[in-house]
Structure 1
Amino acid sequence: MARATVRDVARATGLSIATVSRVLNGQANVAEHTRELVLRTVAGLGAQAPRARGAKPAGPICVRCPYPLTDYFGLIVTSVVETLALHHRQVVLSAGTSAQRASVLPGLASRSDVAGAVLILPPEPAEELVRLRDRRFPYVVVDPRTELPRDVASVSAAHFAGARRLMAHLVELGHRRIGIIGGPEDWQAGDGRMAGYAAALSDVGVLPSAELLRHVDEPTTENGYLVARDLLDLADRPTALVAFNDKMAVGALRAARERGLDVPRDLSVAGFDDLDLSRATQPELTTVRQPLQEMGRMAVTLLMRLLDRHELEALHVELATELVVRASTGPVPRG
């Protein structure tokens, strides 16, 4: 893609080169309507905004994770913070469910006290992330909720490949009637995993059954229990259950136990994430390991390169997952 020059933008807007430069360098002494005019013009030219030259922006990094910092999110945030410390960067943390109600993104580019951001599963619509990019604020998304433009840096796990390998494992054990306890329907991770499950089933000529597919708004242990209970009460119940994460798989184990089903003799159960929780169940959970800490480290590496004004070619980075087979999955029940 061609790169616009400051002169091109100045000519198109009728502004001075100095004013355009101030906007593109993120300086605060520019009227907001002038800033928006320059950014709209850059976008209209069908080109990338020119990168400012000079020293790496100093200051803390905003780490936004609007969820409770337990297990999954806690591992990512801890890794991000520890890696930033290696780069001698302090952290401005926006975390917890109350942070979901805070409007953080629109003001980030105007803040003089932060140099960049790591955004973990941001709940904001993609349009807000694009606007932040257009203002040339450096940030990296970890585990994006929705599909992002190619030029927004992100790090995630290989959800499709991990889900396909997990389903292939169950198929190899003879399972064909497999219940899927899915997560929120608007999460990109869920889309990738569903595609992976479907691909493995199609390899043996099986189409996913709508009767055996359920989604929840929040992937909690309780919701996993409630959905598993409904699936196991079907007249023709599934021989295996695959949950969106390990927490919901734990709920599925509870539902199976209440119905007197032995896992894995009567029912196989599998999760996703490989949290410590997966090794604390009875039996221990078969699951897919996500490299959560490496996702945090990689996000910081990409952000540091953005702050150094490097050109990034691999902007959407997917890290490999690993199938971990434990005692909660076994051959399909006979009869």
Structure 2
Amino acid sequence: MATIARAAGVSVPTVSRVLSGDDQVAAATRVRVERMIDEYGYRARKTRPPASPELIHVIYPRLDTAWQVEHIRGMESVTQEAGVGLIVSALDRGPAGKKDLLRRAHTGQAAGAILAAASGDTSLGTVLGQLNVPVVTLDPGAKAAANLPTIGAANFLGARAATEHLVALGHRRIGTITGSQGGLLCSRARLDGYRAALEAAGIAEDPSLIRHGEFEYRSGVASARQLLDLVDPPTAIFAFSDYIALGVYEAARMRGLSIPGQLSVVGFDDLPAARWASPPLTTVRQPLQDMGSLAARTVLNLARRKALESPRMELDTRLVERGSSASPPRSDRRGGVTA
């Protein structure tokens, strides 16, 4: 309403009276305010529950990973308790989910929206803001609107802990495989954490030990094969996701390398598959369900006009040591091994 008031050259109470249908507002002023309302696409948030249930819309770039399931489990625990519905959509499945969200936003049925990962890089946040729909970004992309509340994890500290763990075991040739280097802020933070740990240990960064991939199993396989093909390959690999780490497992198997006897591996996420891997994967746990529940609670608090303690919320990560990391072999016996 403040934006509309500035554009129309009136006070915020005047805009409020126009929206409520107060007939004491001068006709010319009413026309001017209504023209600005139409131009900005503003819709007043309903103060009474709509006839049909309110819904929180969650938008992902695509739906194909277990960490998204963990997010959604956390969101459901909050929405079920609040009596609010949850709709999950993916941008790669076409415009249907986006159109449905905007339609519900126009009719007052959208309690709010959670834009996850790179979906926050779209114009959705701006459009929903104009419609007075609360928006939160979850693990945002690099281009997400800076004015939106953000839910994330301590990616820098988690990556630093993972790298420090390998350094403490005696590794000096530590490779890393990133995910979505230009797309997600979490990937940038993890790379910074890796570099900070090396610098603190007095280990010079070797660009040949850094491979930029995606948060996918096949990316882990391809990138790990490149690292293992180096003349002086790494004795340990820090993967930026558990999926990438499982791809490293496969690349090691293809090379006939044992984990952790000849190659140590550390992941990031602590998905259920990390415990099922053989050997169980040492990884950085990020509280995915807690992140999802916090995102849902934040949206509902915004919808109820509750003030946020902070627009930037970051949950702790911690290293979970399992069987995939150990001290490096005393001598490198991999030189004669070929694909």
Tell me the TM-score normalized by structure 2.
0.81
SS of the residue aligned with 2:238? strand
Which stretch shifts more, 303-312 or 69-78? 69-78
Q: How far apart are the structure 2 equivalents of 1:11 and 1:303?
A: 31
Aligned residue pair count: 315
Deviations 1:149-196 (A, max 9, x none): 553112111101100111110111111211111111121110010010
Task: Could you tell me which runs of 5 or more consecutive residues in structure 2 were left unpaired when the two chains were aligned.
Answer: 21-31, 332-339
Match 1:71 to one of 51, 66, 69: 66
SS of the residue aligned with 2:176? strand
Task: Could you tell me which runs of 5 or more consecutive residues in structure 1 were left unpaired when the two chains were aligned.
Answer: 23-29, 40-48
Q: How far apart are the structure 1 equivalents of 2:3 and 2:255?
A: 68
Which stretch shifts more, 86-95 or 277-286? 86-95
SS of the residue aligned with 2:158? helix
**Contact 1:67-1:73 within 8 A present in 2 as well:** no
Q: How far apart are the structure 2 equivalents of 1:298 and 1:263?
A: 36
- 1:130 Cα deviation from its structure 2 partner: 3.6
Deviations 1:17-62 (A, max 9, x none): 358758xxxxxxx9997347558xxxxxxxxx9x979457762221
Q: How far apart are the structure 1 equivalents of 2:230 and 2:327?
A: 21
Which stretch shifts more, 52-61 or 286-295? 52-61
What is the percent sequence identity of the aligned residues?
35
Which stretch shifts more, 287-296 or 259-268? 259-268
Which stretch shifts more, 101-110 or 224-233? 101-110
Match 1:330 to one of 326, 331, 334: 326
- 1:206 Cα deviation from its structure 2 partner: 2.0
Q: How far apart are the structure 1 equivalents of 2:164 and 2:78?
A: 36
AA matched with 2:156:
F
SS of the residue aligned with 1:123? helix
**Contact 1:9-1:20 within 8 A present in 2 as well:** no
Q: 1:66 to 1:135 in 2, by over 3 A?
A: same
Q: How far apart are the structure 2 equivalents of 1:249 and 1:96?
A: 26
Residue 262 of structure 1 aligns with which residue?
258
Which stretch shifts more, 77-86 or 100-109? 100-109
Deviations 1:123-155 (A, max 9, x none): 352554244334432121211122545531121
Q: How far apart are the structure 1 equivalents of 2:313 and 2:38?
A: 30
Q: RMSD of the alignment, in Å?
A: 3.2
Match 1:11 to one of 9, 17, 39: 9
SS of the residue aligned with 1:288? strand
* Structure 1 residues 65-144: aligned runs within 5 Å: 65-68=60-63, 70-95=65-90, 97-99=92-94, 103-104=98-99, 109-125=105-121, 127-144=123-140
In the alignment, is residue 170 of structure 1 matched against residue 166 of structure 2?
yes
Residue 300 of structure 2 aligns with which residue?
304
Deviations 1:89-134 (A, max 9, x none): 1223324842588645766643433221122224352554244334
Residue 273 of structure 1 aligns with which residue?
269
Greater Rg by CA: 2
In the alignment, is residue 226 of structure 1 matched against residue 222 of structure 2?
yes
Q: How far apart are the structure 2 equivalents of 1:145 and 1:97?
A: 16
Residue 294 of structure 1 aligns with which residue?
290
Q: How far apart are the structure 1 equivalents of 2:162 and 2:15?
A: 56
SS of the residue aligned with 1:34? helix
AA matched with 2:223:
V
